Amino acid sequence: MDKKIMNFFIFAAGFGKRLHPITLHTPKPLVEINHQPLLGRLIEQILPHAKNIFINVSWLGEKIEQFITHHYPHANIIILKEKSPLETGGALVNALHYEQLHQLRTGLATHPFVIVNGDIYTDYNFSLLTTKTLLSNTLAHLVLVDKPHHKKHGDFDLIDNHVHGTEKSRGKLIYSGISLIHPNLVTYHQKQYTQTPKHYFSLAKALYHASSQKQLSGEYFKGTWHDVGTLEILKELDHSHSHL
């Protein structure tokens, strides 16, 4: 597989409850900053480096489908519908089963791919991950950022390009929602700790387990990055970028 062209997966199935009342009628990834939906901005950044883009949808998913159909009719974008959100880990398991069921031959189940949260605003250069090679004992490479002031605690520490942290002992940095993962990270966790192919589980649990086994590498990103999780953050970003 060409190292510069890779599969991407965008998480877009959440309810976005902290952005009510906006997300009562607009799915969180279609919330706009300076008249541009978050999802549209991410797709524009990813498309030059993507073999395929998988996007899971659930809450108001038909609006995301309409957006994709209207703006990106010729892009290799695969929509994965979930009756109810499967959480991040379950969504990836569902994607791997979808590929197998439909015999897509995308390589999603055999090659590392990039995952991205659909509710972030960033200027991260995604081509950096498409040229990254995971070592044989590494299941994921995480992009870590400084902890925002509104977060109570961090997620991981980064020491000599290795990611350290547990659910009980958090680090000073937080996971950006951007990483390169090997599908084995998901399939191993699903087989060991869940009971059905689409069992709900958070990817964070798989990442913390991999961290305990010293199977995570990482990098620190100090550029623009925002988790658009609250109305306050959304309003602040929209106001600041509308004057650029």
Give the chain's residues under pLDDT 70. 1-4, 193-199, 241-244
pLDDT at 196: 56
Q: Is residue 173 part of a domain?
A: yes
pLDDT at 190: 76
Domain that holds residue 49: 6-241
Q: Is residue 27 part of a domain?
A: yes
pLDDT at 28: 93
Q: Is residue 53 part of a domain?
A: yes
The predicted-structure confidence for 185-194, as pLDDT tens digits, reads as follows 998 877 776 6
pLDDT at 1: 43
pLDDT at 244: 47
Q: Is residue 1 part of a domain?
A: no
Q: Show the 3-state SS of the chain.
A: CCCCCEEEEEEECCCCHHHCCHHHCCCHHHCEECCEEHHHHHHHHHHHHEEEEEEEECCCHHHHHHHHHHHCCCCCEEEEECCCCCHHHHHHHHHHHHHHHCCCCCCCCCCCEEEEECCEEECCCCHHHHCCCCCCCCCEEEEEEECCCCCCCCCEEEECCEEECCCCCCCCEEEEEEEEECHHHHHHHHHHHCCCCCCCCCHHHHHHHHHHCCCEEEEECCCCEEECCCHHHHHHHHHHHCCC
How many structural domains is the chain composed of? 1
Q: List the CATH number of the domain containing 86.
A: 3.90.550.10
The predicted-structure confidence for 88-123, as pLDDT tens digits, reads as follows 999 999 999 999 999 999 999 999 999 999 999 999
Q: Is residue 179 part of a domain?
A: yes
